[in-house]
A = this chain, B = another copy of it.
């Protein structure tokens, strides 16, 4: 029974990577990430086989956190629009509360280090939200468009809204509503 691989350390690396990606981008040296995490450069590779592996896992971690935050306190008994707005509000709040996580995720999304398998897994994580979206557009103008198109639209509106909220955080709540209304106009 030697020192067991510490979950704390894994988390520290992930958190460090998040911070460093925000400031230096995806080309940030692994050594910088290790230092930020308070470990030796070589130790990083005890937890993640390669830099790309680290990025893929971070992508998933962030997406999972985002999705689970979005689904928190999900109200089963209310009507669809309100359900969706509940999720939307949680989603936006996460982005505003953890701007670094959101920006890091945004970088990871466009990285070509993220494998198709990882992206696929990422989509599965968002399944609940996607399902809400599906139900919302079921009778709307986009009822015949492919899901991926609708999902892309939803994501873009979400991203734009987040930016808006972060920039003018005093009125964040209002902006969240405006973004959701725009989305709803697209879908339903």
Separation of A31 and B91 alpha carbons in the complex (Å): 43
- Minimum CB distance partner of A183 in chain B: B186
- Each complex incorporates copies of this chain amounting to 4
Asked whether A172 is an interface residue with its Cβ less than 8 Å from the other chain, the reply is: no
Asked whether A98 is an interface residue with its Cβ less than 8 Å from the other chain, the reply is: no
> Interface residues of A: mostly helix, strand, loop or mixed?
helix
Q: Which of A96-152 contact B (CB under 8 A)?
A: 106-107, 110, 112, 141-142, 145-146, 148-149, 152
Identify which of A42, A148, A152 gathers the most chain B CB atoms within 10 Å of its CB.
Answer: A152
Asked whether A164 is an interface residue with its Cβ less than 8 Å from the other chain, the reply is: yes
Q: Which of B107, B145, B152 contacts A178 (CB 8 A)?
A: B145
- Establish whether residues A141 and B182, one from each chain, have CB atoms under 8 Å apart when the complex forms: yes
Q: Which of A151-184 contact B (CB under 8 A)?
A: 152-153, 155-157, 159-161, 163-164, 167-168, 175, 178, 181-182
